[in-house]
Amino acid sequence: MCGIFACHHHPDVISFKPKALQLSKLIRHRGPDWSGNFIKNKTIIAHERLAIVGLDSGAQPLTNEDDTLALGVNGEIYNHVIIRRQLGGSYKFKTQSDCEVIIPLYQKYDIDCPNYLDGMFAFVLYDAVKDRMIAARDPIGITSLYMGRASTCPGAVFFASEMKSLSEVCDDIIVFPPGHVYDSATDKITRYFNPSWWDGNRIPSTPLDYKAIRTTLEASVRKRLMAEVPYGVLLSGGLDSSLIASIAARETLKAQSLDIDSESLTGVDEKGNLSGAASWPRLHSYAVGLPGAPDLVAAQKVAKFIGTVHHEHTFTLQEGLDALSDVIYHLETYDVTTIRASTPMYLLSRKIKAQGVKMVLSGEGSDEIFGGYLYFGAAPSKDDFHRETVQRVKNLHFADCLRANKSTCAWGLEARVPFLDKAFLELVMNIDPAEKMITKDRIEKYILRKAFDTTGEDIKPYLPDEILWRQKEQFSDGVGYSWIDCLKDTAEKFVSDEDFANPKPEWGEDVPTTKEAYWYRCMFDEHFPSQTCASTVMRWIPKADWGCAEDPSGRYVKSHLSAVPQ
């Protein structure tokens, strides 16, 4: 990942430049490898780079041949090799960066250019001839982006990868919506991503195809091995991360058997093959938890089975508590579920980066698209089941995508999420939801498990049966149940009954319902005191009418094997 900061139509951009560079520096953790900036007319783009593809020539902002177009990108474009070939020499590329293809796509397709990208991205592009800026975010919001305006600077519009870069200068900040593009020519944000499944009221009826699920997910993982630096996989021992790790291990071995020219572009060609890759001789996997945590035990089994070089990292309860304020600063949220799960991920990311790894694969998104959360077992009908999956996918950028992006970027590490690949989403979100439902005969995510069950096939198993059919754990549960218990107990000490009964007036109707939530909100306010910052936060809301408990921990769902007495 990288960090971008931009301002368009500033009345005195030259005088503003020193401040702009300070604001960009606030997100240098996202891109510690290099900093760059571009300034022309009344526009400035600043960039903090994490170099993964095009290491020697991909410094940003990127510009066209006559410097009339400037581009700042945070992301990875997996189909950039295909796009370069399709352009057929009509554009003179200056770098081997995967992101540079956005410039000729803009020249050819204008603001429809994001539709031609396969990847995760947030970008700003300035057209100096037209004095026009466009900005866009990937379809699901894997990559973070914020947009702001300032009453002290009428007419100007600001963009940044993280809210903290805008909070000092903007009194109006929004989360830039995924799948949308902004055009300064109209000053409007419009949706470019319109998949067939986006309307949750259109209930799909496509028959189930197990082979398609398997091959499409494998292709998704293969794309995401595009890198010129060592990479790894996050391995919790749960179904999702274990499948991604297993596929990645297989694909890494395949890539190593290719005769790869070190000067070739790294990416995926028209046949879905890697045109270049970099890795260690064996894939490395990473797990985190309290000593003896369920995830650590399961992760060891998976790592041994798939043959990764496994790294197990533990943390103490005190280390987790000590990190909370920093975690909230980086996450820019006070959502309980996100903070619980992000803290171990934040601690693990630091360990991973210290080992020289810049990119990891992760398993976010599976529970949303397959209806894997245990409360889905109470869905009254397949129509309701489908609508809930669509709603959860639409809100991923406030929850799991935010966690994966910002917990890792805090240490200059990039997380890629194969389950949220556009092609995979199009396939799975169009399956008849009756096939996804949790029943007496079908555990959650049954069809995903079944797709990778090689029983009766002449194929090496992807996972041990005890992992393939293991019941779901929330990540914050799997790292050790005492982690959540410790958070609750500590919140009781920090938040008095009197404080809890008298929430701050400025919170309005967004009142914490537990002392733990109250504690996190107070820490958030210390970092981001303005109300415009709080307005960017969405809290995870339980689906009470399906019996979803106020506490999002899986233990509080009756179907969980270790559920507490109700």
Report the run of H or E that residue 390 belongs to, with start and end. Answer: helix 382-394
280 and 230 in contact (C-beta within 8 Å)?
yes
HEC-encoded secondary structure of 515-526: HHHHHHHHHHHH
Neighbours of 170 (CB within 10 A): 26
Tell whether 366 is in a known binding site.
no
Peptide bond into 61 cis (omega under 30): yes
The DSSP letter of residue 89 is T
Give me Rg for the CA atoms of the chain. 23
**Residue 275 has which token pair?**
């045109």
Residue 274 has phi, psi (to 5 degrees) of -70, 135
Angle between helices 481-494 and 336-354 (to 10 degrees): 120
43 and 184 in contact (C-beta within 8 Å)?
no
Residue with tokens 């400037």: 70
Q: What burial class does residue 89 get, using C-beta atoms within 10 Å of its C-beta: 0-12 exposed, 13-18 middle, 19+ buried?
A: exposed
Tell whether 98 is in a known binding site.
yes
Q: Is 401 a catalytic residue?
A: no
Q: Round to whole Å and give the CA distance between 534 and 203.
A: 35
Tell me which of 2, 99, 401, 409 is the catalytic residue.
2
Tell whether 262 is in a known binding site.
no
**Residue 199 has which token pair?**
């309307």
SS3 313: strand
Tell whether 362 is in a known binding site.
yes
44 and 156 in contact (C-beta within 8 Å)?
no
**Residue 18 has which token pair?**
């020193």
Q: Round to whole Å and give the CA distance between 442 and 506.
A: 46
The DSSP letter of residue 206 is B
Tell whether 259 is in a known binding site.
no
Q: Which residues are catalytic?
A: 2
Binding-site positions for ATP: 234, 288, 362-363
Binding-site positions for L-glutamine: 98
Binding-site positions: 98, 234, 288, 362-363
